[in-house]
Amino acid sequence: MSKPSYLLFDLDGTLVDSVADLTLSLNLLREELHLAPLLVTQVKPMIGDGASLLVKRALGEKIFAPHHLTRFMEIYAEHLLDNTLCFSGIENLLQRHDPQKMAVVTNKPYQLSVNLLDGLGILGYFSLVIGGDSLTEKKPHPLPVRKALEVLQAPPKEAVMIGDHHTDIYAAHAAGTAACFCAYGVGHNDGQATVYHADQPGDLIKLFPGQNRE
């Protein structure tokens, strides 16, 4: 079986480790609401389904109101790059592939995603970024993956969705692409089988070696 030519990446838990800054921002919001702080281990399983669900989970359905999401976005924008870094080996992986054949497909809001990628110096590796608010649906719906394939002019059978959450896998399967589960991230695969599996970030360059572009 030939390796995929087009690589679609999730963001949080796949390309970058952002748990510390998400936890910090949620706790600053909780502090404003006179709530006790959450541990990183409590926040991790809340991540992966978009900002709205993240804040709802962090505050609880009884407390959450739409303005809390707005306030969280303001806080997180200020702390987006306090501690967040690319996982080891990710930039080396990206350097070996054609930017015209790579996209980020994330449930994180678009502008925060672009700001984060730009702040880490890796935005230029991608020809497209699709955020959780870019379209009418987000993962696990296949629409974001299908849109990325359309823009990249990529046949589904020549693409792979790389992510750490079951939302990535379900979206990939429904869109007709292969999936790579990143077990080092914050999500889980919901028991779904994938063609590719990465236990560590360094496994990705073994799975998708690309070529030396220097």
The beta-carbon contacts of 167-172 under 8 Å, at least 24 apart in sequence, are 167/48, 167/49, 167/107, 167/138, 167/139, 167/140, 168/10, 168/14, 168/139, 168/140, 169/140, 169/194, 170/139, 170/140, 171/105, 171/139, 171/140, 171/141, 171/142, 171/144, 171/145, 172/8, 172/142, 172/145
Residue 10 catalytic?
Answer: yes
The beta-carbon contacts of 194-202 under 8 Å, at least 24 apart in sequence, are 194/169, 195/1, 195/160, 196/160, 196/162, 198/162, 201/87, 201/88, 201/89, 201/90, 202/88, 202/89
Region of 50 please: left (phi>0), alpha (psi -120 to 50) or beta: left
Greatest CA separation for the chain = 55
Catalytic residue, chosen from 10, 17, 21, 49, is: 10
Element spanning 152, H or E: helix 143-152
What is the set of active-site residues?
10
